[in-house]
Structure 1
Amino acid sequence: MVLDCIKGRFVADYLRVINPTTPLDNVADATTAARAGALGAFLLAASGAIGGLIVIFTAESYAAKLRHVAEAMYGQGSEIARASAVMMTPALVYMSAAMSLLFALGIAVLGVVQWRKLTRLIPLILGLLTLYGLLMLGLGKINGNPTVADMQIPLWREVLSVVVNLVAIALFYAGFRGGNWLSKQAKADRAG
């Protein structure tokens, strides 16, 4: 296995089965494709964990941005804006970062389950959720929002997020194809 990785065979196998036009006609290819879904989960988990850590290390400035958003949403100096600003503390930011890290851990656990069980359900669900996230990001950019200016994310992070999500969707699709092929093969083996 290590020698195959050094030769690039490991990467070549994954690149071949990720291609949606490549037919899956044997167990080895289907297994590799199903495990690509696990790699997509690990990629999303790493992305979520890095995002959570960035929020942790910038908690005070993030809380200040949240206060500005509250003022923009409810009107500067209004009672609701003041009450919201009081709640926007670093503790709230740490809690949201902790939730992000917990979600990343959950996605990593799903990746481990996918690696071992080679299902079609996990890549399907994670792929649909990732696609939904990309669509919401796109709709947010198209529709615009006056509060977005106060919560501006650096362009490089947005572009990186889109690229990571697109790669993850390709991996999830391959994982779904592989898991589906293995499921159909198992049914055929039981029937025949």
Structure 2
Amino acid sequence: MIDKLTVLNPLARLTDAESAGRAARAGAVGLWLTAAGSVIGAASILLRFDTYLARMRAAAAAKAVHQDPVVAEAVMRSIGPSLAWTTIGLAVVVSLVYGWLGVVQWRRRTRIIPLLMLLLALYGLLATLAGLLGGQTAGLTPPLQLALSLTLSALALLCFIAGVRGGFRLHALRKAG
């Protein structure tokens, strides 16, 4: 098992097609981790539905102080159960797409899927960190969920790096042979 985890090391050499294939399949594992994170986020909103809505309204009210009263009123009316249900639905749809892309990556061992996911994961991780440092996400996400989310994101990032490396190495080996 430890031998198979060496593909997650970004500095390890991928010498043969077998190790490159394992590395490319790590991209699929990263997609499944990301899908699991989306499902956990949707479940968290569902389990804390009223608290989630109240905190969203409080955050919008705090920002509405500097806005036109008509705009602030429209924003407050739009934050209702339908917004939370839309968020839950989108999270489930996104997790299904990630799961499907994981199956495609596992079978085809491409280089494009993990590359795109690496870029999205980097953006998501940086946006989360910027939100934390700027205090914009304070109170909306429980600390345990935030820690789990950041851990899953970091692991998925490693998997996507391995997937990109493995996909490009497999492509080079196929081209050469």
TM-score (norm 2): 0.91
Secondary structure of 1:128's match? helix
Q: Give structure 1 regions of 4+ aligned residues with deviation exceeding 6 angstroms.
A: none
Per-residue deviation, 1:120: 0.9
Mark the runs of 5 or more structure 1 residues left unpaired by the alignment.
1-10
Secondary structure of 2:13's match? coil
1:186 aligns with 2:177: no
Question: Which of 50, 69, 89 matches 1:98?
Answer: 89
Structure 1 vs Structure 2 CA RMSD: 1.8
Per-residue deviation, 1:176: 0.8
Alignment of 1:102-181 (within 5 A): 102-145=93-136, 148-149=137-138, 151-181=139-169
Deviations 1:36-82 (A, max 9, x none): 11000000001111111211222222122222122111129933333
Q: Distance in 2 between matches of 1:25 and 1:33?
A: 11
User: Which structure's relative contact order is higher, taking Cα pairs within 8 Å and 6+ residues apart?
Assistant: 2
Give the aligned length.
176
Tell me which amino acid in the other structure corresponds to 1:74.
A
Any conservation in 1 of the 2:31–2:99 contact (CA below 8 Å)?
yes
Secondary structure of 2:15's match? coil
Larger radius of gyration, structure 1 or 2? 1
TM-score (norm 1): 0.85
